[in-house]
Amino acid sequence: MMQTFQFGPWKIAASEIFYISKLSLGLVNYKPIVPGRMCTVVYVLVLPRRVVPRFADLTSEEVTDLFHSAHTIAAVVEKEYKGESLTITLQDGPQAGQTVPHVHVHLIPRRAGDWANNDDIYGEIDQKEKELAKELKRKTAAVDNEERKPRTPEDMASEAAALRKLFAQAENIWSA
């Protein structure tokens, strides 16, 4: 049986993870903000391996590892998805738009004109977070916004496997 990891209260299959460091994970996105707008998948997430709801609750070592991992992943993701820039964001707590109670960093490749108003992306991130939390709670693949289609486990595993080859890994969690 393949290993799983926690993303807040939910289990994430190792097949959806493309990067692993001593203390952090990189995983592909279940429900892109706007598929096809600029690439196959709009963004990835980086999170600590330990379930920690708030940024201030991370240890210094976890903060260092999380941002080192985000830095490493960002350069590769921007290039792989033909981005020209990146939006890097962390919503810390419910009033900041965090709906999954687990610290996570969004890495979103950007291109000129991908949003008419550059800051509109933040509203879409907020909405996507709410939809993701609702869907994970229901554990269904219902589509609540035609533009945001959930991806199959097979699609996410395929993308994660392709990205995985681009990184040195702290350990191999993918073999039985």
Count CA atoms within 13 Å of residue 130 on its CB side. 11
Among residues 170, 8, 167, which one has the least CA distance to residue 80?
A: 167
- Is residue 127 annotated as involved in ligand binding? no
Is 97 annotated in a binding site? The answer is yes
Q: Does the annotation flag 63 for ligand binding?
A: no
CA–CA distance, 10 with 18 (Å, rounded to integer): 18
Q: Is 98 annotated as a binding residue?
A: yes
Q: What is the DSSP letter of 165?
A: T
68 annotated as a binding-site residue: no
> Is 104 a catalytic site residue?
yes
Query: Residue 83 annotated as binding?
Result: no
| Residue 49 identity (one-letter amino acid) | R
CA max distance for the chain: 46
Is 29 annotated in a binding site? The answer is yes
Closest by Cα among 22, 20, 40 to 32: 40
Which listed residue (68, 71, 102, 104) is catalytic? 104
- Annotated binding-site members for substrate: 29, 91, 97-100, 106
Annotated binding-site positions: 29, 91, 97-100, 106
Residues identified as active-site: 104
